[in-house]
Structure 1
Amino acid sequence: MTVAGFTVPRQFSFTNRPYAAVDDATDAPLGLDEIDRRVRWLLDLIGAAQSELVFRLWQPATFDVLAAGRDGQGRKLPMQGHVAAARLGWNPTYPPGVYVPSRVTRVVTAQAVGTLRTLAYRDNAISSLSARFDPVTGRIAAPTTAGECVPAGYARGVVRQLAARSRGTGSGGGPTTCLRITDVQTPPTSAPMARLSAADRQLSQITVTDAVMTLTVKLPTTAAPTGRAHWRRVRLIAAIPPHLHTRAITEWHLPTLVLDHRGVLLRCAATESVRAPDLTSGSTAVGVDWSPATLGAAAIVTERPDGLVSDYRGFTYDDRGLGIKLARLQAEGQHLHRKAARLTRLAATAPPEVRTELEEKIAVLDAHRAAVGVKRGKINRELAFHFARHIVEYAAAAGAAVIGVEDLSTLETRGHGRVNNNRAAQSARRKAVDALAHTAAGVGVTVVSVPARGTSALCPGCNDTLSRPGGYHRAWCARCRVGGNRDHVAGVNLAKRALLGRSRVVRKRGQNPQIRVTEHAPVRQCRDKKSPTPSRPRHRRVRRSVPTATPRAGVNQIRIVPAPRASVWDTVKPAAPSHGVTGSRDVLTSPASAPSAADSMRFK
């Protein structure tokens, strides 16, 4: 338990872009286009070496070593990926004649070992599921030990892979064999990036003074460096985003270098001091329920000496139609994937001239699918932080100390139709939980995960099954005579479970606090106003002065009035205009004339 008034460190991430570059040895200014080329050469070297190393280690023996966590001499493997790779003898190879510093090799091995360690869990799960898989029925047997339990969604995906493999090999009635991840999947491919935090000061270092971040990194001067003279230090200068100027940041961490369509992007991280959360300090909780129709709904429960009370009037988040757009984009991406897979199967047996044409179509489909994925990622992020801001403002106005959200690992989206299942299975909910936890920590509110089973079906007062007199979206309890929107009733149940289980919170590193025990206490309806009145922003109406035309005599005019234009971003403040230099990116700018951080730096 934490003590009120104390502060705790918290890490967060944000993105940044350099507006100037200087050669560290000669102090000569460099153009940003030149920096883009050098960073691309660095990422090409790292990406090729990482792919070659992962492909060479793609065998069951590698995952056996990672699962055991011991090297050849029985010593425990260290947490640092590059140290573990050096102890196991996993070294990348480069093209003949190419010189790469040892610190860059550290970045390669750290990223490769991190990827393989993540897949070690999947290898164990696939081995357990394949041993219990029946090729005849296409089902898996029930687990016998706790170690064999895996999430239901992941199990369904593995069962589909096992069924497709059994059909392809013609072993539909053969005996069950224990498969590994190397038998059912190919080596993964990762986006080109350079995690500078895996190296030391010989490769990169960072300094922050007067709201200006200076990153010194060693970059190659040619695509195939042959010696140390082809690696030179460069200082990348970037402005700190304005929303970080007033925060108590105690440490700045080395960023990750990536390239996008705009050039070099720095994925930075920092540590700040925030107020220590105290779950026992307040007597009010907010419950957030996920909904297929919208992203989520919230309700408030207050603890009094005479019991728990709630007004059963919740707050429904208005996503301005972005949820439907995400569902459409996801369906479009799935359609493109199926079409590309079908063309791939046709190209395997097609004549050479037809195969060339099909491969061109497949490349177009893959590019279109990648663009759809990028668009979904942007909408997910904007929707998640917009939702988090509204929920945190709602909780802060009510004086809540804890926000209870549904545990996403227990959220099953089945039996509600193809459209609703697709809407509920969006990655926006995972991003919304992270954004909500980050935003709530800034005001001293703790986000906890509570069990989701029965929250929409049970009465918060008597714990009996609710009836649906008005359809699926309505709930009513004849005994307690309470009800309303089913999402609001579920929010009351979630807030109740967060209040009752806050003294038995399970904390795991890298995860939000969890409440695993479901307790019941009657929540009676109180007519006192306990929840804030949510704001209802309206769309802006755009008036345009149009010269009136003189109607002709004797003609009946039909007046057509266009509808007012509305934007889904009416509640989002527009970014500050950029004052940077337009034109070629080789034109150097001074710190005073750097582009606005709100335009090029997006907070994560």
Structure 2
Amino acid sequence: MADTGLPALRQFSFTTRPYLAVDDGIGEPIGLDDVDTRVGWLLDLISGAEAQMLSRLWQPATFDVLAAGVDRQGRKLPIQGHVAAARLGWTPHYPDGVYVPSRVTRVVTAQAVATLRTLAYRDTAIASLSARFGPATSRLAAPTTAAEYLPAGFVRGVVRQLTARARREGGALAGRLRITDMQAPPKTSAMARLSAADRQLAHLTVTDAVMTLTVKLPTTVAPTGRAQWRRVRLTAAIPPHLHGRPISEWHLPTLHLDHRGLLLRCAATETVPAADVTSGTCAVGVDWSPATLGAAAITTETPDGLVSDYQGWTYDDRGLGIKLARLQTEGQMLHRKAARLTRLAATAPPEVRTRLEEKIAVLDEHREAVGVKRGKINRELAFHFARQVTDYATAAGAQVIAVEDLTTLEARGHGRVNNNRAAQSARRKAVAALAHTAAGVGVTVVSVSARGSSALCPGCDAPLARPGGYHTAWCSGCGVGGNRDHIAGVNLAKRALLGKHKVTRRRGQMPAIGVAEHAPVRRSRDKTSPTPRRSRHRRVRRSLPTVTPRAGVTPNRYVPALRASVWDTVEPAPPHGDAGSRDTRPSPTPATQVADSMRST
């Protein structure tokens, strides 16, 4: 593994929950339920002011200013959202008689400006596409400049919106459209990003395995002065997997309320070994597969050229992909049913409309629960996939992991159901998890072009034949063949090695190789790729002690169900491993018993 000698910085996030709360002014403990109530008042003030600010600024002039990137004096807008809002005169409004500290206003403006900046790109794209859109044909004119190029998936979504709007307006569009004409102001979740504030609102201290957050919270739902904002010290445990890590900086968390109470979404920066991509001689290519999340293969650079044994590795999601597909189908069914009831409620009598609205609320609640479950499974799947690929690359001695560029990757040609299922795959989350996990061992993840990776031969660059169907590939000239995902992995790894001196790095994005050079990859009879370790699953006891059945009673057969989680191979956590849980305390210190006794009734 190549090492430049200079360490690199990596940011990561984690969550924890407070188990102790103390009033900083008088030093008396506070119940955690009371803290949840006071945090809820803070989030209500922030979310209400943010929604009002977004609604007031939802006009084309706002996006024109953000696209230009300068203020009224022609100065460049700063990166900090609250500073940019102050220069532009964007201030939130609060209910009459309510006092809110200026540092809370910073949090509101920072979150609102971040949302508007995210949508500025979409506003520019919609304006460009609406100018090229023909309402009569529902088609776009060809772009005239390179700046008008947009991802095909994004273009299709906007064209559908433009077509629906033209149909509603009688087959014509009123000139150049903006994002404010196409959609309403976005709805944001209730949260407080304390990173936009300074020590007057919140500050963080970390000692050993304990994190202490001091934050100013309101003491009433509508505070009228400074005296009704008091500081509270929240003590939370740092998760055990972070103990002993070379963390250089702890960042202020984001406050969030869920069904269990206050949740701290924290971030930290740690030092990791830096790898030199230009000196890499072994690369792992990861190909996204419609059957599973992905597959990998090895390509090695030798003095005689590129070689590979063409023996790849396929990720086993252990049925979670099927579960995600089932949840997606269930969510779509709930959405269709709620939409149908909404159409019926629009023309129904008042008493019937009331019953229909109650059913719609239940369906929306179930659909949201399905979405939350899908998000959890996607995250679990992404990080397990990242861990498996990183271990595979480490065992092979690879310095680079090449993944397909997601902006050039489209799911098409496999039917409506399979295309939709592939498009809903958590590939972007898996890439982020892979980049994070691989950086911990000094392996760099680069993005390479996906075009032709599974259709061209790595040896002669000729089109591959499909003698055994979609999942097989064969080249009659080179005599190589096998799983098409493994062949694509060899191609991706080859492109990473050939373009390692042409890596481009952009702020906030992973390194990318835009060129797709070709060089023959010779098939090596020597085994160059490692043999993946097979997970040793926990044993399931399938026999029960012999019990004499009672006469005349049919005994029940107890068959233990197989575990569906990908974490079956992980050893059970110790009793105090649930960091921040309100049921299991993180440490046996006397403060834990004090926290239990402070629970509000």
Tell me, yes or no, whether TM beats 0.5: yes
Q: Output one character per residue of 1:427-464: Cα deviation in whole Å (capped at 9) or x when no partner.
A: 51111100000000000000000000111111110000
Which letter maps to 1:491? G
How many residues of Structure 1 are paired with residues of Structure 2 in the alignment? Answer: 588
**Retained in 1: the 8 A contact 2:284–2:489?**
yes
Q: Output one character per residue of 1:470-494: Cα deviation in whole Å (capped at 9) or x when no partner.
A: 1110111111110100111111111
Task: Give the C-alpha shift of residue 169 in structure 1.
Answer: 1.8
The equivalent residue for 1:254 is 252
Q: In structure 2, do the counterparts of structure 1 residues 248 and 75 end up closer, same or farther at CA, with 3 Å as the change threshold?
A: same
Q: In structure 2, do the counterparts of structure 1 residues 246 and 561 end up closer, same or farther at CA, with 3 Å as the change threshold?
A: closer
What's the secondary structure of 1:213's corresponding residue? Answer: strand
Alignment of 1:388 with 2:386, yes or no, is: yes
What's the secondary structure of 1:11's corresponding residue? Answer: strand
Larger deviation: 105-114 or 566-575?
566-575
Task: Give the C-alpha shift of residue 343 in structure 1.
Answer: 2.4
Task: Give the C-alpha shift of residue 154 in structure 1.
Answer: 1.0
Whole-angstrom distance in 1 between the partners of 2:319 and 2:586: 41
The equivalent residue for 1:598 is none
The equivalent residue for 1:10 is 10
Q: 1:454 aligned to 452, 455, 469, which one? A: 452
The equivalent residue for 2:597 is none
Whole-angstrom distance in 1 between the partners of 2:441 and 2:83: 39
What's the secondary structure of 1:520's corresponding residue? Answer: coil
**Retained in 2: the 8 A contact 1:132–1:176?**
no
The equivalent residue for 2:356 is 358
What's the secondary structure of 2:358's corresponding residue? Answer: helix
The equivalent residue for 1:40 is 40
Which letter maps to 1:290? W
**Retained in 1: the 8 A contact 2:460–2:478?**
yes
Correspondence list, 1:136-215, <5 A: 136-170=136-170, 172=171, 174=172, 177-215=175-213
Alignment of 1:286 with 2:276, yes or no, is: no
The equivalent residue for 1:107 is 107
What's the secondary structure of 2:473's corresponding residue? Answer: strand
What's the secondary structure of 2:512's corresponding residue? Answer: coil
Whole-angstrom distance in 1 between the partners of 2:200 and 2:213: 13
**Retained in 2: the 8 A contact 1:8–1:273?**
yes
Structure 2 unmatched ranges of 5 or more:
594-601
Question: Root-mean-square deviation (CA), in Å?
Answer: 2.6
**Retained in 2: the 8 A contact 1:17–1:265?**
yes
Correspondence list, 1:285-324, <5 A: 285-324=283-322
What's the secondary structure of 1:271's corresponding residue? Answer: strand
Q: In structure 2, do the counterparts of structure 1 residues 98 and 435 end up closer, same or farther at CA, with 3 Å as the change threshold?
A: same
Task: Give the C-alpha shift of residue 403 in structure 1.
Answer: 0.2
Whole-angstrom distance in 1 between the partners of 2:549 and 2:13: 60
Task: Give the C-alpha shift of residue 561 in structure 1.
Answer: 9.8
Which letter maps to 2:41? W
Alignment of 1:542 with 2:541, yes or no, is: yes
Larger deviation: 19-28 or 573-582?
573-582
Which letter maps to 1:316? T
Q: In structure 2, do the counterparts of structure 1 residues 52 and 560 end up closer, same or farther at CA, with 3 Å as the change threshold?
A: closer
TM-score, with length taken from structure 1 = 0.93
Q: Output one character per residue of 1:190-238: Cα deviation in whole Å (capped at 9) or x when no partner.
A: 0000000111110000011122110000000111111111100000101
Task: Give the C-alpha shift of residue 364 in structure 1.
Answer: 1.2
Q: In structure 2, do the counterparts of structure 1 residues 342 and 566 end up closer, same or farther at CA, with 3 Å as the change threshold?
A: closer
Task: Give the C-alpha shift of residue 524 in structure 1.
Answer: 1.2
Whole-angstrom distance in 2 between the partners of 1:487 and 1:227: 64
What's the secondary structure of 1:309's corresponding residue? Answer: strand
Which letter maps to 2:470? Y
Task: Give the C-alpha shift of residue 242 in structure 1.
Answer: 1.3
Whole-angstrom distance in 2 between the partners of 1:463 and 1:543: 52
Task: Give the C-alpha shift of residue 536 in structure 1.
Answer: 2.2
Task: Give the C-alpha shift of residue 590 in structure 1.
Answer: 6.7
**Retained in 2: the 8 A contact 1:20–1:588?**
no
Correspondence list, 1:296-445, <5 A: 296-445=294-443
Task: Give the C-alpha shift of residue 182 in structure 1.
Answer: 0.6
Which letter maps to 1:319? D
Task: Give the C-alpha shift of residue 417 in structure 1.
Answer: 1.6
Whole-angstrom distance in 1 between the partners of 2:579 and 2:285: 48
The equivalent residue for 1:49 is 49
Q: In structure 2, do the counterparts of structure 1 residues 22 and 136 end up closer, same or farther at CA, with 3 Å as the change threshold?
A: same
Which letter maps to 2:247? I
**Retained in 2: the 8 A contact 1:451–1:516?**
yes
Structure 1 unmatched ranges of 5 or more:
596-604
What's the secondary structure of 1:84's corresponding residue? Answer: helix
**Retained in 2: the 8 A contact 1:541–1:566?**
no
Q: Output one character per residue of 1:45-96: Cα deviation in whole Å (capped at 9) or x when no partner.
A: 0000000000011111111111111222222211111111111111111111
Which letter maps to 1:235? R
**Retained in 1: the 8 A contact 2:17–2:579?**
no
Task: Give the C-alpha shift of residue 244 in structure 1.
Answer: 1.2
Task: Give the C-alpha shift of residue 134 in structure 1.
Answer: 1.2
Whole-angstrom distance in 1 between the partners of 2:581 and 2:478: 68
Which letter maps to 1:409? T
Larger deviation: 57-66 or 144-153?
144-153
**Retained in 2: the 8 A contact 1:19–1:589?**
no
**Retained in 1: the 8 A contact 2:576–2:586?**
no
Which letter maps to 2:182? V
